[in-house]
Amino acid sequence: MKIREFGVEIWMNAFENNCELNLAETCVQSLTISELLDLAGKDASALNDLLTMKMTYGAIEGSDRLRDNICALYTQQKRHNIVVTHGTIGANALIHQTLVSKGDHVISVLPTYQQHYSIPESIGAKVDILPLREVNQFLPDLAELRALTTPQTKLIAINNPNNPTGSLMDRDFLQRVVEIARDCGAYILCDEVYRGTDQTGDGYTVSVADIYEKGISTAGMSKVFSLAGLRLGWIAAPVEVIKAVAIHRDYNTISVGMIDDHFASIALECRDAIIGRSQRITRENLAVLDAWVTGEPSISYIKPKSATVALLKYDFDMPSRNFCVQLLEQTGVMFTPGSAMDMEGYVRIGYANGADVLVEGLKRVSEFLAELREARLR
Ligand SMILES: Cc1ncc(COP(=O)(O)O)c(C=O)c1O
């Protein structure tokens, strides 16, 4: 099966572990196991549970304990609506692989996580892109969405909150997307890996799985739960979708690691503490970023409403990859080029990776931009 290179992942693999100040990171600052236990009100003696754990394949679809804890993030989902996967990336791949066949019609927003258009394209689906534009605050144009749908539309792939723009469709907006999908009979796959990071309220916007009979939510432990190292995600979906996914999943997953399942359960059981920490980081750090953008003459953006990322527009006539490579070489600061996500002319910043990294990183970016402005005058 031929597939396009995954732009963002290639960029990350090449530079992520060599940069000094990582402003490409999209997770809320990752937790150590010790910090996780602290947040859960446990001490190191809790690790004794691992010593008696017999390393079988474990519960194939995810333990009951884990799936019940996942259900608590939704209003309508029961244990049989949940299957545990190898990260959200595994959840997304399984949904596309299960639901999309050659010749099917798929609509995907752009920008988004590249899986959502490159996997269906590789399967031979006809993929229409629904562009998210700055003029619309990076929200979908619903008239355009409706015009793209046909009776053959199998799947509409959205991402809420959105990476890389930080835009957020609220309940009413999602409801209108649902109406459009219902009219053509399409599934909605909503990648909700950033759910829980909204800048206001309790941080949680409604899940598509809870408001649409053909709604599918994918999510995981990496972003708001700060535990990417667990490589644990899930699908919340109607039972018939979970059953169809199970057939594919038997070929590529069997089960997730028992240790991952165990720590994910602990994390979800103290979710208020972890989410509280994440919201404090994302809210305080976005205030820092916002003040910086306001005072930075060469940068503009649409202020994110959620997630951990923002798309910055720079006022220089240069490809985003050159911008990012030069920035990295001269300052040690890592951004992600828009070109890696089919959004040339922008760079993506991840602002939730520790306030110290953000403050020092932005200072160096300002120096870099000042040099670019000077060079332009010469
Ligand atoms: C929108 C989106 N979906 C999925 C993923 C993959 O997440 P996970 O680490 O849970 O596999 C990412 C990671 O950056 C993402 O940004």
> Which residue from 117, 163, 197, 311 has its CB within 8 A of the most atoms of ligand 1, so it is best to mutate?
163
Q: Can you tell me whether residue 199 is helix, strand or coil? A: coil
21 lines ligand 1 (CB under 6 A): no
Testing ligand 1's pocket by substitution, the residue of 26, 193, 224, 349 carrying the most ligand atoms inside 8 A of its CB is 193
Asked, for residue 39, whether it belongs to a domain, the answer is no
Q: Can you give the C-alpha Rg of the chain in angstroms?
A: 21
**Kind and range of the H or E run holding 283:** helix 271-295
Shared domain for 155 and 303, answered yes or no, is no
pLDDT at residue 128, rounded to an integer: 98
Tokens of 18: 């060599």
List the domain range (segments joined by +) for residue 292: 7-32+273-367
The domain boundary residue, chosen from 270, 292, 310: 270
List of the chain residues with pLDDT < 50: none
Ligand 1 pocket, residue 292 CB under 6 Å: no
Which of the listed residues 270, 286, 317 is the one where a domain comes to its end? 270
Distance CA 287, CA 284 (A): 5
- The finding on whether 191 has its CB within 6 A of some atom of ligand 1 is yes
Question: DSSP letters of 53-74?
Answer: ---S---TT--HHHHHHHHTTS
185 and 213, same domain (yes or no): yes
Query: For the whole model, what pTM was predicted?
Result: 0.98
The closest-lying atom of ligand 1 relative to the alpha carbon of residue 219 is: 10
Coil, helix or strand at residue 244: helix
Position 244 in a domain = yes
* Whether residue 259 is found in the same domain as residue 178: yes
- Within 13 A of 54's CA, how many CA atoms are on the CB side? 3
CA of residue 95 to ligand 1 center, whole Å: 14
Whether residues 283 and 256 fall in one domain: no
- Where does a domain end: 270, 303, 328? 270
Q: Buried b / exposed e across 15-45, counting CB within 10 Å, b at 16+?
A: beeebebbbbbbbbbebeeeebbebbeeeee
* CA–CA gap between residue 171 and residue 56 (Å, rounded): 41
Write the pLDDT tens digit of every residue in 184-218: 999 999 999 999 999 999 999 999 999 999 999 99
CATH number at residue 15: 3.90.1150.10
CB-based burial, 197-229: b 16+ in 10 Å, e otherwise: bbbeeebbbbbbbbbbebbbbbbbbbbbbbbbe
C-alpha distances in angstroms, 256 versus 48, 58, 234, 265?
Answer: 21, 8, 10, 13
184 belongs to a structural domain: yes
Residues 300 and 322 in one domain: yes
Classify residue 125: in a domain, yes or no: yes
Pocket test for ligand 1, best of 222, 260, 309, 343 (most atoms within 8 A of CB): 222
- Decide whether any atom of ligand 1 lies within 6 Å of the 228 Cβ: yes
Cα 168 to Cα 378: distance, rounded to the nearest angstrom: 42
- Tell me how crowded residue 365 is: count the other CB atoms within 10 A of its CB: 24
Note the Cα 22 to chain centre separation in Å. Answer: 17
45 occurs within a structural domain? no
What is the per-residue pLDDT for 378? 87
C-alpha of residue 225 to centroid of ligand 1, in Å: 12
Residue 147 and residue 294 share a domain? no
Closest CA to 92 of 255, 260, 236, 273: 236
Same domain, 227 and 169: yes
Are 96 and 108 within one domain? yes
**CATH code: domain of residue 244:** 3.40.640.10
Expressed in angstroms and rounded, the spacing between residue 89 Cα and the centre of ligand 1 is 6
Q: Is residue 167 part of a domain?
A: yes
- The reply to whether 70 and 89 lie within a common domain is yes
- Do residues 200 and 334 share a domain? no
Query: pLDDT value at position 1?
Result: 86
Paired residues of 187 in beta bridges? 155
DSSP structure class, residue 258: H
Domain count, the chain: 2
281 and 194 assigned to the same domain:
no
> Do residues 218 and 320 both lie within one domain?
no
Residue 87 CA: which ligand 1 atom is closest?
Answer: 11
